[in-house]
Each structure stands twice: as structure tokens, then as C-alpha cells.
Amino acid sequence: MSNTILEIHNLKTYFHTEEGIVRAVDDVSFHIQEGEILGLVGESGCGKSVTSLSIMGLVPVPPGKIEDGEILFKGKDLLKMSDKELQKIRGDEITMIFQEPMTALNPVSKIGDQIAEVLEFHSDLSKKERWEKAVEMIRLVGIPEPEKRADSYPHEMSGGMRQRILIAMALIKDPSLLIADEPTTALDVTIQAQILDLIKKLNEQFHSAVLLITHDLAVIAENADRVVVMYAGKMVESADVKTLFGNPKHPYTRGLLKSIPVLGEPDKKLHIIEGNVPNLIDLPPGCPFYNRCPEAMDRCINELPVITTLEEGHTVRCHLYGEENK
């Protein structure tokens, strides 16, 4: 059995706003194994990005605050670390790529320098060695003529290319965990395919674990090994990718899968999930999906379901699978 890189237990990240407490992440637990791609999927406002910020220690305080829980990285709790320790882990062992490849690079500095700069803080290579390593990374992420590219500026590159550079920067220190927060949302499908293939290839090559955060179920289906589905700050289902897509249990997951159009199946009748995501400030005491759920029962109104394990590795938070109904 491979090692567990990251374990999150009962994470609660809240935002204290003037209107009330936003429970952005509420009691989320999952883990990531070495060399695995974990997909974290959900709609906007479900808390998937706040989860990643919590791991990175980048939640803005205030208004944000991690109220409770543990984030164990290789057995050590990140939440108990000092800023200095955290900073070391952040650049060395956990790295992150973001949605917007346009703004994440410094426009007045050469690509090669920007990649090499990452090494400056975290290793004792000479300047020339760092530059060579940078060129090597550019080659690795599949950009032609890496020597020439290292010498150019961000504005001379397309969006897809810039995202590759950011991946190179994230991987140059050979991290144990790569967090990819909507890495392809801003890119076109043809470029998206290239970037995802690259992440997958590098995942196999470097054995880094990847936390792939996206709203796109199709991206998850093609790339992730295991999936966590979030809704309104809560984890609603998690399973390996084949189980989740083949045998979804939570009514939200089921509805979501039935509601996406699939290329090549134009006559698929799309299922409609009525209503909107509830306001995270005054969430009802029961299941957050209650108001939109076709299988809602009376007890869903006031009683928040607990996480039930259906079989090894497949958990769901729904009263349909509670102890009484088994």
C-alpha cells in the first residue's frame, strides 16, 4: 500500500462577514495517497477552492478562519506549524497552480529567470545551474526550443504556454503534492487536453500526488483516480472514479451526472436540478441539498446526515443510506 501524503480531518474554514458566518468549508475529510490524482469537484461556492487555500495556509485572515480540524501532511499537522515552517513546505513540498495563467507571471522578467528564482530560495545551486535546470523544466513541460523560450517574456507566450510554464515552476522542486485549482478553466479545449495530459504524464513520472480541483465532471472522469464531490461547503460523496461515475449514490451526484451534455449523445435527455445553491450564511440545519433533492424525506429538513461508508472507499452523506435504511 502506498503512503498517505495528505490527510484532512474535519476541516472547518469559516468567513466572518458583517452579514454572518459563511461556512465555506464545513467538516470536510479526505486523504491523498502518493502518486494519485484526487479530483475535488463541485459548483462555484461549494468550498473547493477554500479547501485548497486552507491546505496552503493562504486563507485570508480576517475574515477567514480555520475553526477546527487537522491537515496532516506526511503525518505533521500544517495548522500547528509556524509561518516559517509552513513557508518551507509551501514552496518545497506542496506547490500550486492557479486558474489564471495570465496574471500569475511577472510581465517584466524573463521566463527562465522566473523559473530559476523558485530554486533560489530553496536550494544551493549556482546561478548557471539554476538556469540550466529551468531550461530542462521548460523542455519537460513540452515547450519546443526551451533555450530560446527561457530567454523570452510572458507576453510573448499564449495562455496554454504560460500555464505550462507555471506547471514547470510548480514541479521544479519535485513536490510531493501538486494542487491544481481549475488549471484549465481559462483555456480552450484543445489546450486543456494538452495541459491535462501533461499533468497526468508528470504525475506518473514524478510520483507527485495531485489534487485536481475543477467544476468539470468530464475532466475528473478522464484524469482523476478518486473523486470527492462537494456541495455547499460539505462533502457529499467520495469514491474511486469508476464507482462514482458508474454507481453514484448521492442524489446530487446523480443529478449532476445526468445534467451534463455529452458529446456524441445529443439526444440525451438532460436532467434538471431545480432551484439554487442555498446561501451559505443561513444554511438550514438539515441536509444542504434538501431544497433541491428529488428524494428528500422529512428527516432531511432538520437532521444533517452523517457520512456513511457504503463499501471500502465509497462514502456518502445522505439519509437514504443511513443506518436505519440499510
Residue numbers at the binding site for another protein (CB under 8 A)? 15, 17-19, 22, 24, 43-45, 50, 158, 160-161, 188-190, 192-194, 196-197, 215-222, 241-242, 245-246, 255-257, 259-264, 266, 268, 270-274, 276-277, 279-281, 292
**Shortest gap between Cβ of 270 and another protein (angstroms)?**
5
**Shortest gap between Cβ of 188 and another protein (angstroms)?**
4
- Which residue, 41 or 119, is less far from another protein as judged by CB? 41
Q: How wide is the angle at C-alpha 241 spanned by C-alphas 7 and 289, nearest 5°?
A: 80
Judge residue 81's burial from the number of C-beta atoms within 10 Å of its C-beta, 0-12 exposed, 13-18 middle, 19 or more buried. Answer: middle
Listing DSSP states for 247-283 in one string gives: S--SHHHHHHHHHS--TT-TTPPPP---S-PPPSSS-
Tell me the angle at which helices 111-122 and 83-92 cross, rounded to the nearest 10 degrees. 130
**Shortest gap between Cβ of 22 and another protein (angstroms)?**
7
**Shortest gap between Cβ of 318 and another protein (angstroms)?**
17
**Shortest gap between Cβ of 261 and another protein (angstroms)?**
4
Would you give the DSSP letter of residue 43? -
- Which residue, 66 or 217, is less far from another protein as judged by CB? 217
Q: Are 71 and 11 in contact (CB under 8 A)?
A: yes
**Shortest gap between Cβ of 129 and another protein (angstroms)?**
31
Q: Which helix (H) or strand (E) holds 91?
A: helix 83-92
- Which residue, 40 or 219, is less far from another protein as judged by CB? 219
Instruction: Name residue 165's beta-bridge partners.
Output: none
**Shortest gap between Cβ of 224 and another protein (angstroms)?**
8
- Which residue, 1 or 270, is less far from another protein as judged by CB? 270
- Which residue, 89 or 227, is less far from another protein as judged by CB? 227
Q: Are 34 and 207 in contact (CB under 8 A)?
A: yes
- Which residue, 218 or 301, is less far from another protein as judged by CB? 218
- Which residue, 67 or 303, is less far from another protein as judged by CB? 67
- Which residue, 223 or 308, is less far from another protein as judged by CB? 223
Strand-strand pairing, 20-33 and 4-17: antiparallel
Identify which of 281, 283, 319, 282 has the alpha carbon closest to the alpha carbon of residue 300: 319
**Shortest gap between Cβ of 82 and another protein (angstroms)?**
27
Q: How wide is the angle at C-alpha 203 spanned by C-alphas 202 and 205, nearest 5°?
A: 60
Instruction: Name residue 17's beta-bridge partners.
Output: 20
